[in-house]
Amino acid sequence: MEEIRKRVEWLDVARGIGIILVVMGHAERGLVNAHIATGQAWSTFDLAIYTFHMPLFMLLAGVNVRSSLARGRGDFVRTRLRTIAYPYVLWSLIQGTLLVLLSGVINGKGEWSKLLMIGWKPISPFWFLYALMVYVLLVAVVGLRPRVLIPLAAVGLIASGFIQDENIIHEIAYMLSFFVIGALASDAIKQWAPASYWMAIFALLWLATYQIVPDDGMTPYLTPWSFPAALAGIAFMLCLAQVFGGLAKDVLAMLGRISMTIYVMHILATAGTRIVLAKLHLDAPAGLYFAACTIVGVAGPVCAHMILERLGLLPLLGLSGRLGAGKPQPSAADIPPATEAHARA
């Protein structure tokens, strides 16, 4: 039992690391779109983290599928409707409404008509939950049959190289491979305890495979060419997650357990921070803006989670992770945060 708990904890640490990268990605893109962060270094940073951090979340989402599906397909689907579909609809409506109300203040422009299209056109950044629910329905129908899922994942990966536009079809096609890897290799992943030197090996492998990722196009990180870098980056992150100890491990594991809350709220926090700092006309380097947006983007949702937990409002809002050190709740264990950095808020 202690070994199982340890494995779950380091997976939470991996989610914690990942959600920080997600916030950093949105903070960076918001600053770039607001013309605060300029220069090639920001573009390099953007492409670097996007080669692996969203694939990491999709793989982690697949890791718990086997054990959850074992409880029955009906229970599996009902649980995912509550922990994936419900938050998707609710927070799409919340963020979509705020985007409309704040048009002219934020980078993007909200439209009421987009709220009516969330059934087939997700509002950024909630494409992840949409894609994840598609995968859930897929495995509910076909099960975890490698002879079915592996060919589907291969077709999706190949097809992603021919889709030019940034849309949900493109994201579903590319990310399926990582969900399938997580689902089919879940037991091996949970038991993986690599020697420390593997972290350096995977870091070097990521650096080498990153060189073949195309540096042009709208979504170079959603192509077959980025797949090797994604795998190497994921392996590096999983190794890194097992290195932390003490307070750092506890904090990262906590962030992993409440990652859904950070996921659905962080854009509002990062955009709000950027807007306030810009309104103050602070003559500060883009790096300080970036640091402030990232810190508030993480800390703000954590504080909100604590308040909502005390008020007993987490289930109502589709958030059920816990700050305590007890057993992670289903949504935190099964659903990594997920947000693409397409958002321009």
Over the chain (345 residues), the average pLDDT of each successive run of 10 is 58 96 94 92 94 95 93 94 96 91 68 90 92 97 97 98 90 98 96 94 98 87 96 98 95 96 95 90 90 98 96 93 43 42 42
pLDDT for position 107: 59
Sign for the CA dihedral angle at 165, 171, 176, 178 comes to positive
Task: Give, for 238, the enclosing helix (H) or strand (E).
Answer: helix 227-241
Token code pair at residue 7: 């494995």
* Backbone dihedral region for residue 7 (phi beyond 0: left; psi -120 to 50: alpha; all else: beta): alpha
* Cα 263 → chain centroid: 7
3-state secondary structure of 142: helix
State which amino acid sits at residue 217: G
Token code pair at residue 238: 């999983």
pLDDT for position 75: 95
Closest CA to 137 of 152, 155, 121: 152
- List C-alpha distances in Å: 226 to 198, 232, 311: 21, 10, 44
Helices (H) and strands (E) in the chain, counts: 17, 0
Q: How many CB atoms lie within 10 A of CB 113?
A: 9
pLDDT for position 113: 86
pTM of the model: 0.89
